[in-house]
Amino acid sequence: MRRTGTSVDPLWYKDAVIYEVPVKSFCDGNGDGIGDFEGLHSKLDYLQSLGVTCLWLLPFFPSPLRDDGYDIADYFSIHPSYGTLEDFKQFLDAAHARGLRVIVELVLNHTSDQHPWFQRARSAPAGSPERDFYVWNDTDQRHKEARIIFVDSERSNWTWDDEAKAFYWHRFFHHQPDLNFDNPVVVTELLTVLDFWLDLGVDGFRLDAVPYLIERDGTNCENLPETHAIIKTVRAHVNKRPSPPLLLAEANQPPADVRAYFGDGDGDECHMAYHFPVMPRIFMSLHLEDREPIVDVMERTPGIPENCQWAMFLRNHDELTLEMVTEDERDYMYLAYSMDPQGRINVGIRRRLAPLVGNSRPRIELLNALLFSLPGTPILYYGDEIGMGDNLYLGDRNGVRTPMQWTGDRNAGFSKADPAGLYSPVINDPVYGFPAVNVESQESDNASLLHWTRNMIRLRQHFKVFGRGSIDFLRPANTKVLVFTRSFEGDTLLCVANLSRTAQPVELDLRAYAGATPVETLGYTEFPPIGELPYFLTLGPYGFYWFELQRPHG
Ligand code: GLC
Ligand code: CA
């Protein structure tokens, strides 16, 4: 079987394993209670040994931090709490020296209201070039068809500005005015931002909240052709580089609309987009003990150009969004995964992976096995590799952004600061608290989730077919079992997963592979060869197999 490449393959992102990390939460190098680049730098050995190949950093720019840095006040610098540009460069060089790629956030839809562009715009006369950086109106009655995204905190997408004597448009918090993408100067300014970080050597950008760039009357102001035109401009711009960076689209939309962010032809927009449609359906399938939600959404997902790739994830720094499921589905998802109303926010559930599945190790393993075997590049959220918990009593989505738990010592080994001085309390409940859940103890426990995760990443990286291959679903009679093959350049893997809490039998029609021998990849154990009869397997609760189908030589 083909192994994944490490070199300068332009399609490197297809074979990547991405690790999502907020700089402030990972490690505090200077002891002020806030994670920083010095701390992150010091943990590169850990990340390398975990086996991830790419780091995605959450926003680290100067910001009033009212949306955890997604409210940018200066695109060209580092928030002083996280270090200096020099610290960033040193970290980036060190990551590259270890073969780790680094992608950063490009928050292009909006800025902080503290950004000099907005300060200038509100005091400039109506109709002036300065005012024209943002989207203004005399009333709050325009674009009524656009939904409100942060329903728990905002009543309207318009907010009155007393200084400008006009309303300004914002799809997120009212302190995050949307930039005016109908103004070509705005686009040019953002291309300068891209160039700045590319010149420093970053490997890619996550295009935050990208469906909302352009507004038009009589539409819901999402996924408009004019928005796609802007993304094509961005792509054409970065394509001028000798090794163009990765562009990753954050578009929480139905399958066909997400597909559009890969662009036309052989892909002239983003290289990658999150598979938002499948994420909640993985949790639905687990709850229903039925493969249908996953199979259905995967089959409804249009094909993508050869050089494009889905970004797969189970959890991230936001809530488990339920915006794109039906009302009935939303209801049972809340019942299944968030009995505690405190766990709900906006249209979703603000919980980490382990608490979502009742801290069940078999369920965590099953979900990760799906994450690593469905088509696309997997993204792990920091701390989920050790099964960290969350804190529902912190506001907004901060409960899933608590300090990384390194040891059982003070502040979980995250910081030497006075515990009261941490940017956030560490998790300290009896089940998920740092004395029980931390990297150090899991390193010394061969049966730990950390060791398991590391092993699975290694195993996945052994087979190029996971990142590159096609998928075909089998439909055995037992619907509690999800079965698919992944194929690439003559290699085939057979993945079988039991979504149920009890043991299950399954009979597979594998006649297309008659003569081949399934080899279970974790133990490299040969199973009986495939013949013309149904192939019979049994799986333990939440069990899964990845088989390499070895054809006889000859
Ligand atoms: C994206 C981010 C989220 C942020 C929002 C507004 O959805 O993932 O954390 O609040 O954009 O910038
Ligand atoms: Ca610090």
Q: Mark whether 208 is an active-site residue.
A: yes
How large is the average pLDDT for residues 265-284? 97
Residues near 341 by Cβ (< 8 Å), separated by ≥ 6? none
For atom 12 of ligand 1, the residue with the nearest CA is 70
Q: What is the pLDDT of residues 296-315, one digit of tens each?
A: 999 999 999 999 999 999 99
* Pocket residue to mutate for ligand 1, from 208, 248, 323, 350, most atoms within 8 A of Cβ: 208
Residue nearest to atom 2 of ligand 1 (CA): 208
Contacts of 56 (CB under 8 A, 6+ apart): 18, 19, 20, 21, 103, 104, 206, 248, 379
* pLDDT tens-digit series, residues 119-129: 999 999 999 99
Sequence-distant (≥ 6) Cβ neighbours of residue 193 within 8 angstroms: 75, 76, 106
Report percent pLDDT > 90 for the chain. Answer: 98
Query: CB under 6 Å to ligand 1: residues?
Result: 67, 70, 107, 172, 208-209, 250, 317-318
Residue in 70, 173, 313 to alter for ligand 1 test, most ligand atoms within 8 A of Cβ: 70
Locate tokens 């994944």: which residue? 4
Q: What is the largest CA-CA distance in the chain?
A: 80
pLDDT of 519 over the 90 cut: yes
Residue 7 pLDDT exceeds 80: no
CA 190 to chain centre: 23
**Residue 225 neighbours by CB distance under 10 Å:** 9
pLDDT at 476 over 50: yes
Task: Write the CB contacts of 190 (distance below 8 Å, at least 6 apart in sequence).
Answer: 106, 108, 179, 234
Reply yes or no on whether 130 is catalytic.
Answer: no
Catalytic residue among 250, 319, 396, 491: 250
CA–CA separation, 121 and 505 (whole Å): 65
User: Is the per-residue pLDDT at 5 higher than 50?
Assistant: no
**Segment 310-349, tens digit of pLDDT:** 999 999 999 999 999 999 999 999 999 999 999 999 999 9
Structure confidence at residue 6 (pLDDT): 44
Residue 106: closest CA among 316, 277, 248: 248
Q: What pLDDT is recorded for position 203?
A: 98
**Three-class secondary structure of residue 121 per DSSP:** helix
Between CA 400 and CA 392 the distance in angstroms is 8
Residue 542: pLDDT over 50: yes
What is the rounded average pLDDT for all residues in the chain?
Answer: 97
Residues 393-415: tens digit of each pLDDT: 999 999 999 999 999 999 999 99
Rounded Cα–Cα distance for residues 511 and 205 (Å): 44
CA 205 to CA 15: how far, in whole Å?
17
| pLDDT tens-digit readout, 364-392 | 999 999 999 999 999 999 999 999 999 99
Taking a 5 Å cut-off on Cβ, the residues next to ion ligand 2 are 28, 30, 32, 34, 36
Query: How many Å lie between the centroid of ligand 2 and the Cα of residue 82?
Result: 6
- 14-70 pLDDT, tens per residue? 999 999 999 999 999 999 999 999 999 999 999 999 999 999 999 999 999 999 999
* CA-based nearest residue to 108, from 234, 270, 220: 234
CB 81 within 8 A of CB 73: no
80 Cβ neighbours under 8 A, 6+ residues apart = 62
Contact criterion met (CB below 8 Å) for 21 and 58: yes
**Ligand 1 atom 11 nearest Cα:** 209
Tokens 């291309």 belong to which residue?
191
Let me know: does 389 contact 397? Beta carbons within 8 Å: no
Percent of the chain with pLDDT over 70: 99
| Interval between CA 54 and ligand 2 midpoint (Å) | 23
Does the structure show a pLDDT above 60 at 291?
yes
d(CA 387, CA 450) in angstroms, rounded, equals 8
Residue 452 scores a pLDDT above 70: yes
Task: For residue range 156-197, list pLDDT tens digits in order.
Answer: 999 999 999 999 999 999 999 999 999 999 999 999 999 999
| Six-digit token string for 526 | 């040969």
Ligand 2 centroid–CA 41 distance in Å is 12
Q: From the centroid of its chain, how far is CA 294? A: 18
Ligand nearest to the CA of 210: 1
Q: What is the pLDDT of residues 207-247, one digit of tens each?
A: 999 999 999 999 999 999 999 999 999 999 999 999 999 99
| Of residues 253, 274, 260, 206, the one with CA closest to residue 229 | 260
Q: Measuring CA to CA, which residue among 369, 343, 226, 403 is closest to residue 285? A: 369
Say how many Å lie between the CA of residue 540 and the centre of ligand 1.
39
Q: Which residue out of 15, 20, 87, 208 is catalytically annotated?
A: 208
pLDDT of residue 8: 78
Pocket test for ligand 1, best of 57, 153, 172 (most atoms within 8 A of CB): 172
Ligand 2 centre to CA of 81 (Å) is 6
